[in-house]
Structure 1
């Protein structure tokens, strides 16, 4: 085949592409997850041939590898994908269906009587993967049928795996056809709850109330980013929002910072509060656990009225890997906006990046250019919040504060901003770093101690102040490389 890439322009310019895969899976699964290859190679019977210059010179026929081969056996080798000209074998599926017809019916009846005895979660996951994958059933490689009607050319374990997958698929289809109420309830809760979380009036009202705590950060009357009230008169934003206005060697601000609350109508005044010129806590580096920090805790001259302290909405837990989120901020320095979107789990990040790249010709990134920079304390998603929204609070679908929106992998397309993937830094590591830095501020520790979740999960015991409250600015050189790849939101 002349083109095997969805992006024809990439196919013209690149002689080969690198595919990342997980040990233990087969080639076809890796190529499907990669997202850059056309569906045809999964629909036809294709094989891999090893690129060998010596073999080509000697006119030797290259060894063929089936798409069902495990990836670790082919690591760091270069292949061509060859269309054999044959259709994919579907004989085995038919034989399995005929063989198990009565078993499927009896399994469905049994599941109706006792749905708990079947692993519905696993079955539904298989169905979801099959229904959302336009490539069809997994390729197993060439198969032949001998005179006894037994399929050869595949391992016994592969046959069992296919049989179980087919059985799970057929059982669940029959259960859905019979409108089993428990299965229907599971499907609705599992796959519709993401949409529902954005439509429940109660949650929308909660977010509207919490959004009153979000402000726009101005420096010398120029908008720079977003912040939010976390407790008393203290607001949190990204370090990169204010780092250009810090006097070298100190945490003292050189510009006049202001926080503008209630800026929700164009050309309205809002509630403007001044920011004290000393930063309370600040980090723009990796910690000893290789978690990147990008935050600044600022102190206002006075506490704003009628605003929720968002540390009240903090729930101490690991960063979520799925579900819906709400981001509230001031993108492009304009009126306050909200963006509901969905988390991209760590196992789906590479697929999402490759999918975006394959569908957008002007995108300059390759997958490995983004993926290594997704530190473990980052929550990833697709958002329309770009410049000016750095420092926006991120809430989960239960309206708990889980992170601070910080940036994405930016490029321009026809004079408009685009991004491959966006991210937030999760709150647990941020709060831990803040508590560590304010150990000499007993007044702040006292304010933090009123939040039960923080009091129970972080050490709030004070340290004697012998050197003042200022801490030196420590910016890691590695961040310079990161800034070439990322945009600050």
Structure 2
């Protein structure tokens, strides 16, 4: 009697069947060129290409471009055709392209099926690699067409080595495996050797760099077996040489010899532990010998990478040079104390802490002057006296505000104000600071914004580099910096320290977006000033607070001069002021009709705009 399939005893294939049932049913969408998206549903383990082949439209495209190489774009990054579909989020969108193939298109090396099917999505990691390598190893992609993709995504199994993951990906040139290369994290400046495990790389972005010209080091113990990589390379050579894969031929009785599989050697654990201990000791000695050389190489490599991102076009630098005429040095009794810049008409913006020691009870107790033309040590004179302080705020503990608007007593011609070049804070990218660091001549410093997620990494990097030689700077200092930088609106790494407070900060479009305010300074190894991270205040926040102060202190003459300045973002600033007035319910802005009669037309429009109430729109109810 033949048993039916439901009553059959468990077979050797049952675990695989159970794993197949455990695979979640999900769908993703794909498109080619600018055509509409097509939905594909996946109900079993496999690759993205296998799932795409269930689509009739994709099969037509693949047949049409059979001599080209398939490129799959996911979130702006290129993934491999054998990328596991289980890593795709439900309803995720992909774009497929076909590019010119290099040589004979061949499938990338992969782990044996028995190694892949036993892995679940939680045991997979993905990391991203820039399509261009570092110095002396820029060309890393096998297909030059992939260099146009800024990043590519690589998947790996936990326990694999970086080298295995890159080899298995199949898109990298073999040269990177024959040289001593590493993955370089550009934010943390940490290097990961190709012999390291991939377990901690999930979600991070790296650049492949060349450490030196020596042979690559051996692998770390405890990683997945390398045998399947060697086997696939041998298979690949066989394919390229003969054009087909040799398979076991049946004997005279029609039986096929089963394929040989690799098995663990008996009693190999003790040998493995011994080799692991000897290898760790050997690597430690090698690192000690090459430490001095590698530090110099790292320094040069990091500096080059940063400068590459901070390059400016000539026309941008010319414009910044023109705008630098509005930047000045602030002096107290002839001694330089900070920087500043002309905001509008005869009003200079700087930090209040620059004049804090000389401004007592609403007046100066010494002479304060600003100098716009101090660009070489031979230049003397040419300064303008400061008449008074129009408005200021100095609340470091609460809001972090630190600004002051100075009125000049100058009657002669002044540079153009930077208010016409006002802009809002960028989230990332390059910036330029122009000021007088260390009380010297006017300088410019191109640097990079440190985004909010990377601020703590910068602090930890400084602590890791300096904790050995600065014994009295404890970890509590750096922990305090971590908490403090979270409230600052703009952070960056600059070489502008003392004397540069009050300098304007420009974005890539030469818009004045912030005012350089300070940093977290500590002494370096040789006694020089070092700073963990620097910060600036948003110019838009300062403008809104300044306007409110001008009204509250009844300095309407200054407000009138401000309103006479026309700039692109004026209306946006006015809307921000209005929201602050309404949230604080400020009575100084409530003007009756009689008080408005004698005012200038621009002031009337200003107060009418602030006092205008927006009526709520009633909901339509059926």
C-alpha change, 1:362 and 1:393, in structure 2 (3 Å) is: farther
Partner secondary structure for residue 376 of structure 2 = coil
Alpha carbons of structure 1 residues 415 and 437: separation in structure 2 relative to 1, 3 Å: same
1:177 to 142, 151, 156: 142
Aligned-partner Cα distance in 1 for 2:328–2:433: 13
The separation in 2 between residues aligned to 1:216 and 1:170, in whole angstroms, is 42
Among 319, 322, 325, the alignment partner of 1:209 is: 322
Structure-2 residue corresponding to 1:311: 419
SS in 1 for 2:499: coil
Aligned equivalent of 1:118: 74
Match of 2:491 in 1: 380
TM superposition shift of 1:123 = 6.5
- What is the CA distance between 1:458 and its match in structure 2? 3.0
Partner in structure 2 of residue 444 of structure 1: 558
Q: 1:320 aligns with which of 420, 426, 436?
A: 426
Instruction: Specify the alignment match of 2:435 in structure 1.
Output: 329
Q: Deviations over 1:429-460 (max 9, x none)?
A: 11111111111222222222223345302347
Q: Does 1:342 align with 2:442?
A: no
Aligned length: 330
Name which of structure 1's ranges 383-392 and 362-371 shifts more when overlaid on structure 2: 362-371
Q: Does 1:259 align with 2:370?
A: yes
In 1, Cα distance between the equivalents of 2:445 and 2:131?
Answer: 39
Match of 2:544 among 426, 429, 432: 432
Does the CA-based 8 Å contact 2:131-2:149 persist in structure 1?
Answer: no
Distance 1:100 1:312, change over 3 A: same
Q: 2:516 aligns with which of 396, 405, 428?
A: 405
TM alignment of 1:39-58, pairs within 5 A? none
Question: Given the superposition, is the C-alpha separation of residues 301 and 115 from structure 1 closer, same or farther in structure 2, using an over 3 Å criterion?
Answer: farther
Q: Is the 8 A contact 2:332 2:367 kept in 1?
A: yes
**CA gap 1:307/1:177 in 2 versus in 1, 3 angstroms:** farther
TM-score by length of 2: 0.47
The 1-side partners of 2:371 and 2:130 are apart by 58
Closer/same/farther in 2, CA of residues 442 and 411 from structure 1, 3 Å limit: same
Structure-2 change in CA distance of 1:429 and 1:362 (3 Å): farther
Give the superposition deviation at 1:270.
4.7
> Which gives a bigger RCO, structure 1 or 2 (Cα 8 Å, sep 6+)?
1
In structure 1, distance between residues paired with 2:315 and 2:326? 18
Structure 2 unmatched runs, 5+:
1-45, 81-110, 134-138, 152-204, 208-304, 579-587, 596-622
Alpha-carbon distance in 2 for matches of 1:175, 1:431: 49
Q: Can you list the C-alpha shifts for 1:407-434, whole angstroms capped at 9, x where unaligned?
A: 1111112231111111111112111111
Aligned to 2:389: 279
Indicate the structure (1 or 2) with the bigger Cα radius of gyration. 2
Whether the 8 Å contact between 1:198 and 1:204 is mirrored in structure 2 is no
Q: Distance in 2 between matches of 1:240 and 1:335?
A: 21
Q: Which runs of 5+ in 1 are unaligned?
A: 1-98, 125-144, 466-489
Aligned to 2:345: 232
Cα distance, 1:339–1:427 mapped onto 2, change above 3 Å: same
Cα distance in 2 for partners of 1:193, 1:251 equals: 45
Matches of 1:171 and 1:223, distance apart in 2: 48
Task: Measure the CA separation in 1 of the matches of 2:355 and 2:540.
Answer: 22
- TM-aligned CA deviation for residue 151 of structure 1: 7.2
Q: Would the aligned equivalents of 1:237 and 1:297 in 2 still touch at CA under 8 Å?
A: yes
Change (3 A) 1:382 1:150: closer
Which residue pairs with 1:218 in the alignment?
331
Deviations 1:18-67 (A, max 9, x none): xxxxxxxxxxxxxxxxxxxxxxxxxxxxxxxxxxxxxxxxxxxxxxxxxx
Tell me, in whole angstroms, the C-alpha distance in 1 between the residues paired with 2:319 and 2:451: 25
Judge conservation of contact 2:338–2:499 (CA < 8 Å) in 1: yes
| SS of the residue 1:458 aligns to | helix
Alignment partner, residue 11 of structure 1? none
